[in-house]
Each structure stands twice: as C-alpha cells, then as structure tokens.
Structure 1
Amino acid sequence: MSTAEERILAGLDAEQRRVATTLHGPLCVLAGAGTGKTRAITHRIAYGVHTGAYQANQVLAVTFTARAAAEMRTRLRELEAPGVQARTFHAAALRQLQYFWPQAIGGQLPNIIDHKAQLVAEAARRLRLTTDRASIRDVAAEIEWAKVSMHTPESYVSAAAGRADAAGFDRTTMARLFQSYEDVKTDRHLIDFEDVLLLMVGILDAEPKIAAQVRQQYRHFVVDEYQDVSPLQQRLLGLWLGDRDELCVVGDASQTIYSFTGATPAHLLTFNQKYEHAPVVKLVRDYRSTPQVVTLANRLLASRRIEPGVTDRTVAWPEPLELVAQRDDGPEPRFGEFPDDEAEAAHLARQIGQLIESGVEPAQIAILYRTNGQSETYEQALTAAGIGYQLRGGERFFQRREVRDGILQLRAASRIDAEGSVTQQVKDVLASLGYSETAPSASGAVRERWESLQALVALAGELERKRSGGEESFTLLEFVAELDERAAAQHAPTVQGVTLASLHSAKGLEWDAVFLAGMSEGLMPISFAEDQADYDEERRLLYVGVTRARKHLSLSWSLSRTPGGRASRRASRFLAALRPAVAAASADGAGARAARRRRAAGPPTCRSCGSLLSSAAERKVGRCGDCPPKYDESVFDSLRQWRLETAQQASVPAFVIFTDATLVAIAEANPQDPAELSKVSGVGRTKLERYGQQVLDILTAGAPPA
C-alpha cells in the first residue's frame, strides 16, 4: 500500500474504513448525525482514485445543497482527487441539459427562473383567481411537490387526495392553476428548477445514444443525504445508472425533514431489498457532540409515541440509529421557561454574552427556531446586547454589496505585484472599503458590513496556511479564483456573528453552542401537524436541532407571546421525556415565579379608570387608550429625541433602544433612581446598565444630556 493510500485510511474508525475500502458494487451507509459520513465517503472516493479502481472524472457524487457539494470538492482536493464531480442533483442535471439540448431538442435552452412567485401570480390572474403573497407561496410549493413527485396537471387531482388544500383552493382549482402556470412558462420560453430534472429524464428516456454517452462518462455514483431524494431525483439516478449497480448511498431516516417537498426515506430503507447483495454499514460513533447532548438526542427518538386522537396511527417508524458519543463529558443541556417571548430572548442574549466572554466565538453559537417569523425577537435582543448576528436564509453572502465590492477590488489588485502575505494584501485592499482589524463598537448594518469583510480576511488566512509551502507560495490571484469558485457554488466563508436560523435551514451545520428557542406547543410541534406522520416529522426536526450542538445545548419556551399577555402556552410535548424532574416544575426560576405572580395578581387594569387592558401596549404603560396620558410632553419629547440620536449612533432601528410603549411607561412612571426604573416594563437589566443613567438624567433635567 502506497503512502498516499495509507494516509487516506489513517484516522478512520473500523466502520468508516469499511466504507472507504468497499469500492465496488452497491453499498448502503446508514450514518447518524455527527458520525463522519462526509469523511467516510470522500475518503472512499479518494482511496478508489489512488488505488486505480476509479478514474476521477468517471465518479459523480451528488448531494442536496451547494454548500455540501463545495465542501465535498474541497475535501477531495485536499485528498489529491480533484477531478471528481461533486454537485447537487440540479447542478449535475443542468450541466448535462446544457450540453445535450442542441442535439436532443435543438435551438436555445430556455431561461431558468429563480422564483415561481411572479409566474404563479400571472397564472392566477389568467384564471381570475384572487391571491396574496402567502397564497402564491403556498401554490408554488404545491406545484413543486407535484413536479418532484412526477405528477402532471392531469394526474394531480387523484394524486393529491388526502393532502390539505393549498392556499384554500380545492384540488380541481389547484390542477387548473398548475396547468395555467405551465402555460405561462411555455408562452414566455421559461423553465423552472424542477423542469431541469424532468427534461433530463425525458431526454435520457427518449434518446438511447445520449443515455449511453452519459453512462460511458460516469461509472461510479455516490449519493449523500439519500433519505431526502424525491421520486423525480430517484428516477434521474436510475437513468444515470442504467443496469449497473456501482452506487453508494448514505443517509439517516431519522433526519428526514423535507417530506413536504416530496422527499422520502423509502428508497434508503428499501435499498437492501433492491440490491440484496449490498452490504449495509452503520456509522454510530458520534464525534460531534458530548455524551450529554447525544444522550438527549437518543432519548428524543426513543420516546416516540403514537399521538392520541390523530389519524394514520400505523405510519412506519424505522428503528433509529443509537448514537455512541466519542467526546469527553460536557455540561448538561439546559431547559428554561419564561413568562413571554421578550424575556426568553433577553435571557438567551445574556447567556450568549457569557459564552462569548468565556471564549466561545460568536460564529460558533446559534439560535434555532421553528419558523422564520420568530427571528425578530431574537434579533432585537442581540442588538440590544451589542452582539453581532447573521440571519441564515437572508441575503446570500456573495450577493452582499460590500462582498461584491471587495472581490472587485481584490481582482484588480491581483494584477499588480505586491509584497507581503496574501492575508496582509487582502487587509490592505479591503481597508479602502472601511475594513479595520478592530471590530466597530456599533451594531446593526455597520457591524454586519465589517463582519462580511472580516470573513474574507479570515478565509485568506485559512487558505494561506493550508496552501503555502513547496516551490510556489499561495498568491492573491489564486485567492480571487477561490472566491469566484465559492461564489458560483454559494460556499460562503464563516461570518463572525451569532447565527439565527430556522431548524430546516440548520440541516448539515453544527455549532459549539445551540439554543433551541420557542419550544412550545403550537411551534414544536407546529400547530398544523394533523396526523402521526406530521408529528413524527416534527420530532425528527427537533432531533436535527439537538444534534447540531457540539457542547452547549439549551432548550427554552415562553408562556405568553407578549409581556403581560395571558400565559396560555405550555412546553412542547416532546420535552416531557427529556426534562429533569426539577425542570418540569420550574426550568427557569425567575421566569416561572414572574409568571405565577402575574397570574396571582389577576388581569391587568387601567390605573386611571380601572377597566381591563386588552393590548400589550396598554399593559406596558398601565393605561387604556381612552384615558389621557399622565406625563410631561416635553420630557417625553426629550426621551424620543435621545432615543433617535442613540439609535442613529448605533445604526439600529429606534425601537431596539426602547419601544414607544416603554418610553410612555417611563415618562408616566417618572422613576428617580435605577431601582425604580428597573420596575418599568420593557427595561431589563441590559438596557438598565446601558441606558439607565442617560434616561434618569433626562427625567431629572427635562432635556437630553450633552
């Protein structure tokens, strides 16, 4: 065995080594979260290339995100197997479609649309149907499900039996909308992402010569995240393979969280029935998480039960892989109950601040939640605490203006011979865009802009350490080429900020510390879960969230949405088997005590007329909307002017400093010392420390301090 081959196999555990050395025939790898599946399959490919079993350009590895594909290419390049094609299903199909379109169809390939919304809206207008943004989104999602499930407008009505009506449209109307959408695309000579796969399936089906050409090119296939394949993707994979069985699939049925898009673990679970001689290798050694996190994850799956009062009780539940932790012990997962969303977010911000002070990098911390609409509360809390963050699912890194400007400047500089390391050259170039080695004290847009530029500097340093040495050193021109490749693949570098993300978008990622927020009934599981399959998928989604954490894990929920609101929420049913006995009674002592005091005090009433207060704003100021305010107008104006100037200096919205309701409450209460100010609703410890003295000065002097 050569040195290169020994190096590729070195460091693999027994199961990973079996994967890496099983080079021919079908192979099924059941890989739990954090068990090194990407390491196993990339080392398998590299070992096959180095032993001569594979020609690098005859291997096609497919996965589900551009980021995962880019990571796979990077690892293969480091293992000296750079010629292997690692792509998403769509990217691989699109490349083939562009190549074969002229000879199979002729003419120019139609343009591909990024989003369906405009075309769906036009399709609805043609049918004189009323839609709004939410209904357009739901119709687009239903069309995507139908197409990846290989249904046509003609077959949709029968295929969608049992599915909830999309956007309130019955199945017949939805079928007409589906057809109208297809007509709009045809009229405008456009195709969507599902069409890329459908067209390639049609060409391979109808053109034996083209199918033979593709099969001649690709002899060996690897499919990652195989539990997420749709019927359409499986059909395309089958046409790529033909009658061969050179296929390695990797997946975990317990991480199936995209059923609503047409993904199904059925192909993974029946793989050894289709290929009876295929070995099945289980990866269960968890190298990511501490024993405490792994134990919680195992208990979450083991506590699955048939939900009372739901349909489809006989839905299959594949036996989950039981993970075995390989890391040293860490802290126990924390559970927290809070009176409202604002209190929960403020507590999370304080915990995150403590972690950062203890040495945990912000980029290694994440707050995960069930729906994107929950992010605003956590954004406000982090901003108020002066902690930078990045919103995953927002603007893509390489589309940010400062990043695009930075790459343009670096490209121009790469044509000039300059002295110094690549990292120093990058710093010098980006300095013209406002970069400095010291982070700005401001938060918001200023901080986000600096963090984007800092991410480019950090990436330059990382690549320079990896690639420098030998006869030729790493150059700025090579760095720009790497940026171009990453931009094409949307493989963004790490941004130094706390990540805010939905549980779905967190799939495939990991952090040192994870805060699972909003873990209450109605959010986890989501309120529209109806049958056993829905509840099982929600449980798997929570499992994915738990297994993102390496060391620190926190699960929290609130009893009310707004401060002073009715405490009608309760913790997620999934936490019942996970919470310690003391946590079940009172996970967060202060929060639970505050909630009990609020309930004991009875419903809040107006301090002036005694009527019940209905809105959160009324409860915050302690006065109903019909009663006149009781504060000095000049003092209130001074508070608002101070808030505006403070917000502008920090580059944040004014409400992040204090909301209007909180300012009114402060003006009416007219506190004279920090203790009195802290009793005003909306003034937490962090804001008291940051703004307390300035507010008291305004109340005392009647004007903002200099």
Structure 2
Amino acid sequence: MKSMREPDLAQKEIIEFSEKRNVGVIAGPGSGKTFTTIQRICHLLKKGVDPKKIMIVTYTNRAILEIQQRINKQFKEKKDFGYSGTLHSICKDFLERELKKQLEELLGFSVEGKLQIIDESEIYRFCTEELKKEINPDNPSFRACSSEEIRKKQDILASELREGISRNKLESYVANKYSLEIKGYEKIYSESKGIREYQSTLDHVYQSYQDFLRDEKKFDHSDLIIYFHYLVHRLDPKEKERLVCSKIDQILVDEFQDMNFLQLQIIREFSGNNKNIFFVGDPNQAIYSFQGAFPAIFNYFHQSDPEAKFFKLTQNYRSTKQIVKLALKLMDSQPQEGILKELSSQKMFTDNEEGEKVSWIVTDRSGGATDEIYLTIKELRSKGVNLNQIAVISRAASDTRRLRNIFWQRGIKNIDFLFSKNVDWPSEYFFLTCFLYWKMKRDPFSLRYMLQYLLNREEANYYLLEDIESLEGDIPQQVEELLSTNFGNRYTSAQDELIIQKLQDLWVELKKEADSFEVPLRELERTTPTKKQFEEFLEEHTTSKVLEFLGDRSKAIKAIVEFQGKLNWSSENSVYYSTSEIFETLLAYIKYLVTHITDRDFLNFSTIHSCKGCEFDYVFVLNLREERFPIRHAKTDEEIAEERRALYVGMTRAKKELYLVSDLYVYKPVWESTSAQKFKTGGTKYSRFLKELGFNEGNPEINYLSNLYKGSIATYRPRS
C-alpha cells in the first residue's frame, strides 16, 4: 500500500490552516489521521508555539506515546508537552497542581504528592470479592445453586460493574446537573438474562466501592473527570482564565467520536473563548456508546459553534479498491444529518491497487470455520506471509477463545489484544521479563529494551536513545562495538559520559548473567511448571545486582506469576505452556505494547474495539450471523447502526485481503415428540449486513467459499 512521506493537498490545507477558529477534521480509515495530527503539531512548533502550552488529548496512552515518539524523531530532540495523554491523566495533572487547593477544600483532607489512582484490574478485583460476599452457598438465596451457577452469576455481575460503575457515575453527574451526590446503581447496561433481579446487590457493591475509595483516599478515572469539571465549572471567569485557560495555547483532540458529553464540556472549559480546539475523528467509527460516546457529537459541536471550520480526509492509503468499495457500500444505508450530511458527497477513495475480491467463508459444519481459517492461514504462510501480518477479529472476546486455543494446539502461536488490556504491565515487569529472557536466549529485543529503560530512567538526551533504538540485526555485537568506542566518541558532555558509563556497566553485568545461566534450553522447553515451581524459578534467577534499582522485585515476580495464571485461565487449561513458552508469549505481549508491532511468529486475535487504529495485511472478521453480529441485544435502529459501524471498523483494518466468516453451525433444542428432546441444526441466519452488501453464491464481486452441507445459502438468508 502507498505510504505517506509528504502531506497530500487535503492534509496540507489542514496542517497549515491559520484562521482563529475551532477546527474539526472528519478522517476516514487509512486517511492519515495520525500523520496529519502529528504534522499539525510540528507546524505549530515550527511557528514558535511553546510545547508546554500544547495540549494533546488521546483516547489511549499508547496513542500519545506514538505521537510523542514520532515528533521527537522528526525534531531529533525530546519535546516536553505540558499536558498530553488521556483526558483523565490531564485532569489529574491539573487537580494535583493548579487546582490542588480547591480539591483539598472540596474533599476535606490534604493531598500529599500524587493522587492515588485505582486501576481497572483493582476495581475488578474489589467488585469480585464483594460479590463473593453477597453471592455464595452460605446465602439462603443461593443454597440450591451449584458452584458453577454461583460462579457464573458472580462473573456476569462483575462484568456489568466493570463497565457500569464508570458510566453510572458520569451519567448520574450530568443528569443531576453536576451534583456530586452519590446515588445508587441507577442503570444496568448488561443484557444478560435475569441480571435485573440483582439490583440490590449491584447497589450494595457500588456503595461499598465508593466507601472504599473514600476511606483509602483513592480516585478512579471517572472521579478525575468529575472533580475537575465540578471545580472548574464553578470558578470565577478570571480565576478560570488564570488557573486553566492561560496554561494552554492549542488543544488537539484525537478520536473525537469516542468522547462523551462531559468530556466535550471539559475540552471547552480548557479552551474558554479562545477558539483553539483542533479535533480529529470519524463518525463512522463511533462504537463506544456503552461508554457514553455518541456519533452526533460532530453535529452537536457544529450547532453550538457554527463558525467552526470542518475538513474531511477521504483518500484511503491503507486498503485495496475492493475493500474500500465494500466498506463504502456498507455505510450507504447510514443516515446523515447536519454537517455530516453537508460533507457526505466527499466519498472515501483510494489510488491503491484493485486487489483480491473480498472472500466470504460460509460453513454449517462442526468445526468448519476453524478448519477453513486454519487452512487459509496455512496457505498464506506457505507464500511467505508472517503470522503478525494476519488478524482474526471478532465482535466479542468469547467468539475467539476456543479458536485461539485450537490454534495453539496446532502450532500457531498467538496474542490477544484484549488480554493485553486485562493485565497489569508496570515497566519493572517488562524489565524483569527482558532480563530473564536475555539470560535464557540472549534475545536482541530484550537487550535493547533494557538499555532503553536505563536511558529513559536517567533522562538521557534524545540522540543516545535514538542510537540504541536504531540498532538492528546482530544487536549484541552492535552494542559491544557502540559501548567499547563510547558511541564513537561523539558525545563528550559530562552528563553523556556519565550515562554511557552506566550503560557500559550494565552491559558487562548482562554478559556475565547470560554466561552464567546454566539451565539447558531443552529443559525450559520441556518443563510445564506449576505456579509454585514457576515462582521458585523466578526467585532463583532474579538475584542479580542488575535488578537492584527495581526496588521491590517481588512485585514484578508476582505480576509474572499472575500472567502465567491468566494465560492458563484464558486457555481453559487446554494448552500446557512450558517455561520457555510462558516467557516467549509474555515477551510477545511486551513487544506489542512497546513497539505496537506483533512478533512475526505470533498471530493477532482481537475484538473490534481493541484493534481500532490498527492495520493488517490479511483480516478475518468472525461470526457474521444474526444474534452474533449484529449482537443479540441490538434491537433499536441506533443499536443496529452502531453494530454496522463496528463491522465497518473491522473491515477497514485490512490492507490486502479481507475474509468475512459466517459460521452457521448452531445447535438448538427442538421438541420433536412429547417424550424426547433431540438436537439438530436450525434457525440461524447469516448477518443482515451481508444481505445489505448483496452477498450470495452468485455474486461475481466476491469470492464465495462455501462449506455447506445442509443445503444452499438461501436456507440461511435473513428476513430483515
């Protein structure tokens, strides 16, 4: 696919736009959204805007790291942006500094140092433990339930609370006219059958959670948003200008379609009347309504600020013409209003090659979809395609668990993007893993990461970091040459010489550690350790003085042991990981989180929500059948429209080839007599979205790959 070295004309106009107006950019998939945002920031820096007064708001921490790295690389130095990251983190910075006095008065206690933030995994653990107190065999209401039934109820309610706590807080705050009064668990979001019977349980856990935060003087992400808005909204205009607005010259917002109403109000509080907001997004990729986001946010912004200037990026640099054409057809039925309708005549297009026809894999056989995907991937590999160029994408995480495990058993290693979001990943954890894998296999990535870690810890100049980051090929040999010559004697300041000496000392110790590691590789590949054995292995091999600066290494060891447990849980104990495989898989996740690129020997699995912003040469989108995609609980026109947008996101991740998969093998109980219940296939239909696209066995515009044995595809045609 075509890559961008210089901005195209549409991007250039946006980058250099200089009128004193708020600017909105509607950017289709693969249109260079991030590239344009970065070039806009670089343009501002070249014009003399102080980076400390540029606010960059991203949806994820990963996104801001990518933006900062690319800007630093372009300027060959580290730029210190005063306020950048997720909106939660920016609000936290203001609460700790500019608004500290007001926050302390509101809370009634002093805030020493940083605010203590509870992370998502800790919230989940808290809720899980509280639910165990409520739902257990000792409770008379559950004595008749089996242990499996109790566990399932706990899991359903824990999943509801995981998303619902934050959304209840935010929506309650807005609905109650910005009141901080804590109400009950007012709205249930899960569609799981019978969940509404447990309203009182959800209320109790929610209140216990709030009490826990208050007693421990901790905050969750919603608190940061709410407290910031509450305090700023009540400030005198002059005081707000002094404390907040004067700190910022330019505001850039990424993934605008994922913002909720309160977040938009906060962006406006930061801006005041300065008309300095620049936002980028795609309403066709708005798929976070469960977090309060709404695609009409573009029209809402335009209605409240008619003078705002809107642009649209339409050239797709990612996908083939075949993929772009099908994606456009899918969205033809989406209604458009306001500014979106005004811009609707500007359609997405690409100058890329025509490409292969989109394939439709259809099967109603047991295990048919798994076999077809496996054989297709096997064929791609025979043509020299690396596994990391392939992604298997699903609407729900549960859709791929069995598939992931079967692939492992068949020798296809894989990582799951959603799994990576459900594990705590402290940097000490990364370092310890890389240290051990270096000892075991002299792994080049591990070596480079440890050197980079030291440079970042010492706040080294950017050019030292760049020299280490640029190492490729035989990295250990290059490190030896680089450090033995003091980086070619290019850097001679006292600070640089001190840091280079620390790198040399680290390198000497790392070589000793690798030389002294005596466990045979075959033993690591053969041994499947228990939790206790694995923990003992970690304790035995992490006593090096290289690790002294990590502080409490026991926390990092505990995190790695927890990873082993979650890996086994995710595989449902159907895959047995050797010591070597545990580290190999863990390192694959670390590579992905650090470089945003999957190891070449690992296949990508992801939900649609977890792979936004990603792209792959070959993409499989699973379970395109009714009640799975669109998902069962999507009933209203708005809910179906969001499901359609989710499919659009999945389809537009593909660069070269796209495979849409309809696994129509479903068993349903059918009463055929009064005396016996028999099971047979029946009732399922392929997704209505495929019907909208005109998919059928005679469609010459698609590659129809059928493995049906119950009849023709017409048997499975949806009515709606």
State whether TM-score is above 0.5.
yes
- Partner in structure 1 of residue 371 of structure 2: 346
| TM superposition shift of 1:181 | 3.5
| TM superposition shift of 1:68 | 1.3
User: Equivalent of 2:276, from 239, 246, 249?
Assistant: 246
With over 3 angstroms needed to count, the CA separation of the structure-2 counterparts of 1:10 and 1:581, relative to structure 1, is: closer
With over 3 angstroms needed to count, the CA separation of the structure-2 counterparts of 1:579 and 1:404, relative to structure 1, is: farther
- Partner in structure 2 of residue 449 of structure 1: 583
The correspondence of residues 138-177 of structure 1 with structure 2, limited to 5 A, is 138-149=160-171, 150-151=173-174, 167-169=195-197
- Partner in structure 2 of residue 301 of structure 1: 331
Paired AA for residue 62 in structure 2: R
User: Equivalent of 1:192, from 203, 220, 225?
Assistant: 220
Q: Distance in 2 between matches of 1:119 and 1:453?
A: 28
- Partner in structure 1 of residue 292 of structure 2: 262
| TM superposition shift of 1:70 | 1.2
User: Equivalent of 1:63, from 48, 58, 61?
Assistant: 58
Q: Distance in 2 between matches of 1:193 and 1:279?
A: 32
Q: Distance in 2 between matches of 1:405 and 1:344?
A: 36
Q: Distance in 2 between matches of 1:588 and 1:26?
A: 47
| TM superposition shift of 1:12 | 0.9
With over 3 angstroms needed to count, the CA separation of the structure-2 counterparts of 1:513 and 1:163, relative to structure 1, is: closer
- Partner in structure 1 of residue 432 of structure 2: 404
Deviations 1:454-503 (A, max 9, x none): 788xx7xxxxxxxxxxxxxxxxxxxxxxxxxx97xx66553231111111
Matched, 1:556 2:661: yes
Q: Distance in 1 between matches of 2:183 and 2:393?
A: 35
Deviations 1:103-131 (A, max 9, x none): 33123365322233344457766899986
TM-score, length-scaled by structure 1? 0.68
| TM superposition shift of 1:201 | 1.8
SS of 1:33's equivalent in the other structure is coil
How many pairs does the alignment contain?
551
Contact 1:205–1:211 (CA under 8 A) maintained in structure 2: no
| TM superposition shift of 1:275 | 2.4
The correspondence of residues 354-365 of structure 1 with structure 2, limited to 5 A, is 354-365=379-390
Deviations 1:612-670 (A, max 9, x none): xxxxxxxxxxxxxxxxxxxxxxxxxxxxxxxxxxxxxxxxxxxxxxxxxxxxxxxxxxx
Deviations 1:286-336 (A, max 9, x none): 001100000110011114589xxxxxxx99996866310121121011001
- Partner in structure 1 of residue 650 of structure 2: 545
- Partner in structure 2 of residue 91 of structure 1: 89
Q: Distance in 2 between matches of 1:560 and 1:532?
A: 27
| TM superposition shift of 1:143 | 2.4
Matched, 1:27 2:23: yes
Contact 1:255–1:541 (CA under 8 A) maintained in structure 2: yes
Q: Distance in 2 between matches of 1:316 and 1:419?
A: 55
Paired AA for residue 92 in structure 1: I
Q: Distance in 2 between matches of 1:547 and 1:444?
A: 35
| TM superposition shift of 1:571 | 0.8
Paired AA for residue 434 in structure 2: G
- Partner in structure 2 of residue 77 of structure 1: 72
Q: Distance in 2 between matches of 1:316 and 1:175?
A: 41
Matched, 1:530 2:530: no
Matched, 1:107 2:111: yes
Paired AA for residue 368 in structure 2: A
Paired AA for residue 353 in structure 1: K
SS of 1:582's equivalent in the other structure is coil
With over 3 angstroms needed to count, the CA separation of the structure-2 counterparts of 1:284 and 1:424, relative to structure 1, is: farther
- Partner in structure 1 of residue 486 of structure 2: none
Q: Distance in 2 between matches of 1:587 and 1:326?
A: 22
SS of 1:576's equivalent in the other structure is helix
Q: Distance in 2 between matches of 1:180 and 1:397?
A: 23
| TM superposition shift of 1:282 | 0.5
Paired AA for residue 402 in structure 2: T
- Partner in structure 2 of residue 573 of structure 1: 688
Contact 1:119–1:184 (CA under 8 A) maintained in structure 2: no
With over 3 angstroms needed to count, the CA separation of the structure-2 counterparts of 1:172 and 1:135, relative to structure 1, is: closer
- Partner in structure 2 of residue 591 of structure 1: 707
Deviations 1:345-390 (A, max 9, x none): 1210111111122122211110011111111232133224322211
SS of 1:264's equivalent in the other structure is coil
| TM superposition shift of 1:137 | 2.1
- Partner in structure 2 of residue 282 of structure 1: 312
With over 3 angstroms needed to count, the CA separation of the structure-2 counterparts of 1:361 and 1:220, relative to structure 1, is: same
| TM superposition shift of 1:139 | 3.1
Q: Which moved more, 1:292-301 or 1:205-214?
A: 205-214
Contact 2:23–2:309 (CA under 8 A) maintained in structure 1: yes
Deviations 1:407-436 (A, max 9, x none): 586587788999831499999799678999
Contact 1:383–1:444 (CA under 8 A) maintained in structure 2: no
The percent identity for this pair of structures is 22
SS of 1:394's equivalent in the other structure is helix
Deviations 1:165-216 (A, max 9, x none): 9931587886676445423322333221111111222332345547623322
Contact 2:415–2:585 (CA under 8 A) maintained in structure 1: no
Paired AA for residue 248 in structure 2: Y
SS of 1:554's equivalent in the other structure is strand
With over 3 angstroms needed to count, the CA separation of the structure-2 counterparts of 1:393 and 1:42, relative to structure 1, is: same
- Partner in structure 2 of residue 514 of structure 1: 619
With over 3 angstroms needed to count, the CA separation of the structure-2 counterparts of 1:559 and 1:493, relative to structure 1, is: closer
Q: Distance in 2 between matches of 1:435 and 1:518?
A: 44
Contact 1:546–1:553 (CA under 8 A) maintained in structure 2: yes
Higher RCO, 1 or 2 (CA under 8 Å, sep at least 6)? 2
Matched, 1:394 2:458: no
Paired AA for residue 117 in structure 1: Y
Q: Distance in 2 between matches of 1:35 and 1:435?
A: 50
| TM superposition shift of 1:399 | 6.0
Paired AA for residue 251 in structure 2: F
SS of 2:84's equivalent in the other structure is strand
Q: Distance in 1 between matches of 2:370 and 2:633?
A: 25
Contact 1:16–1:40 (CA under 8 A) maintained in structure 2: yes
User: Equivalent of 2:233, from 196, 201, 205?
Assistant: 205
With over 3 angstroms needed to count, the CA separation of the structure-2 counterparts of 1:517 and 1:435, relative to structure 1, is: farther
Unaligned runs of 5+ in 1: 1-8, 307-313, 460-485, 601-706
- Partner in structure 2 of residue 327 of structure 1: 352
Larger-Rg structure: 1
The correspondence of residues 417-496 of structure 1 with structure 2, limited to 5 A, is 420-422=477-479, 445=577, 446-447=580-581, 449-450=583-584, 453=587, 492-496=596-600
Q: Distance in 1 between matches of 2:250 and 2:576?
A: 48
- Partner in structure 2 of residue 117 of structure 1: 124
Contact 2:160–2:189 (CA under 8 A) maintained in structure 1: no
Paired AA for residue 639 in structure 2: D
SS of 1:132's equivalent in the other structure is helix
TM-score, length-scaled by structure 2? 0.67
Q: Distance in 1 between matches of 2:682 and 2:315?
A: 42
Paired AA for residue 523 in structure 1: R
Contact 2:24–2:310 (CA under 8 A) maintained in structure 1: yes
Matched, 1:47 2:75: no
With over 3 angstroms needed to count, the CA separation of the structure-2 counterparts of 1:107 and 1:69, relative to structure 1, is: closer
Contact 1:35–1:288 (CA under 8 A) maintained in structure 2: yes
Contact 2:388–2:598 (CA under 8 A) maintained in structure 1: yes
Q: Distance in 2 between matches of 1:499 and 1:40?
A: 27
Contact 1:390–1:448 (CA under 8 A) maintained in structure 2: no
Paired AA for residue 201 in structure 1: H
With over 3 angstroms needed to count, the CA separation of the structure-2 counterparts of 1:213 and 1:154, relative to structure 1, is: closer
With over 3 angstroms needed to count, the CA separation of the structure-2 counterparts of 1:424 and 1:561, relative to structure 1, is: farther
Paired AA for residue 240 in structure 1: F
